[in-house]
Amino acid sequence: MAPKLNVYVTEETVPGAGDGPLAGRSVGVKDNISTKGIRTTCGSRMLADYVPPYDATVVKRLTEAGATITGKTNMDEFGMGTTTETSAFGPTRNPVDPTRVPGGSSGGSAAAVAAGETDLALGSDTGGSVRCPAAFCGVVGIKPTYGLVSRYGLVAYANSLEQIGPLAPTVSEAAELLDVIAGPDERDATTRYDDREGHPAETATYADAADGDVDGLSIGVCTELVEGADDRVAERFEAAVDELVAQGAEAKEVSLPSVETAVQAYYVIATSEASSNLARFDGVRYGQSGGYDDNWNQAFADSRASFGPEVKRRILLGTFALSAGYQDRYYRKAQDARAWIRRDFDETFDEVDVVASPTMPVLPFELGESLSDPLTMYLADANTTPVNLANLPAVSVPAGRADGLPVGLQLVGPRFGEKTIIRAASAVDA
């Protein structure tokens, strides 16, 4: 089934070492996470022949835990997309319905798990890229708090937003994978633990938290993130919340007015960081050479021909946002909106334990549906981007199907509140 669905860019087995907690389990690794001796393309022609000389920290932790790596999973080029259709290696298809997209940008990872091509998988989440494909493929995806998982070896798209996260068939399995990859890393100064949770001093693991006990849990239903959802999606979301209430949770409406600015703020900040990060792909340091026969400007321009249309679009948007005369108008305003979103969430978590919304406001797109209309693709990120802007943890857990297509429930927690959202999600998963 793998070739038909196109879940892998490179299939290569890397056996695990010893009898660790993931012994006997297979894990697919998104193709923007460095693997020593195995090419890491980021779904781009620019890096079609790039072979890293080192393993990312998360890859090293996987193999040390006994996991067998099955290969590098397909993705939107440099993580820029919501459908896994911008990959230079062709689109990935959704195992639930091959005429539909699997979501993105970690679509290959989610599709591989959903199709049974691998037990578990790693994705990266910059604006929803773990949770979106989890929702579209009917699996579980966790976006950890910024700083919980090392980004060393992750090819950067937008440094201040992205995190590596697990995808799995169940909440408990996703939590087990999170236990392995989480933790400080001397190679990534952004990794940390939050003293309020006491981790890692606590002996309880994330997997232990998946006990399904939601008695007394307060759930905030964000009106702004529900009102814009497709009616079919909203119906399944409400049913999932009702199930949590039936198990002892308490639901109440909450308002986060700032999230209505999230998509705009996200695409200014993310593209600005991408414009800077992707400057390294000049054909000299990294990427395809533009030749050496003409002047430097022409050689640089020729090297950029290896980027796909969506990547070029986002580089241009980011460069414009940072240009003289426009930085105050766009980038600084986006950062102000980001601060507002973070404050809104902080105040809301004084009232409730988790915030709930549909993961995606729409059902999976048909293949090709959004390619000619990038704005449609961008707006689909409305429910996931606020989490990245606020650097919070979130999980997408299957909430049933509408018209035969998966719907995801998103549960957002306070910073380093992974155990709380895992506990809540496991009650839905049960």
* Residues acting as catalytic residues: 30, 105, 129
Structure tokens given for 317: 């948007």
The two three-digit tokens of residue 270, written as one number: 């993310």
Q: Which residues contact 32 (CB under 8 A, 6 or more apart)?
A: 40, 42, 43, 75, 78, 79, 124, 154, 155, 157
- Peptide bond preceding 200 in cis form (omega within 30 of 0): yes
What does the block give as tokens for 57? 């920290």
Q: Report the SS3 class of residue 192.
A: coil
Rounded distance, CA 368 to CA 428, Å? 32
Could you tell me how far CA 163 lies from the centroid of its own chain?
Answer: 7
Q: Determine the straight-line distance between the first and last CA of the chain, rounded to whole angstroms.
A: 28
- What CA–CA distance (Å, rounded) separates 96 from 91? 15
- The span from the CA of 180 to the CA of 318, in Å, is 35
**Contacts of range 176-180, beta carbons closer than 8 Å, 24 or more positions apart:** 176/21, 176/22, 176/206, 176/207, 177/22, 177/27, 177/120, 177/122, 178/142, 178/144, 178/149, 178/206, 178/418, 179/21, 179/205, 179/206, 179/207, 180/20, 180/21, 180/22, 180/61, 180/62, 180/65, 180/67
> Which residue stretches of 115-215 are H helix?
131-137, 171-181, 206-209
Rounded-to-integer distance, Cα 110 and Cα 335, Å? 31
Look at strands 8-14 and 68-73 and give their pairing.
antiparallel
The β-bridge relationship of strands 394-402 and 140-143 is antiparallel
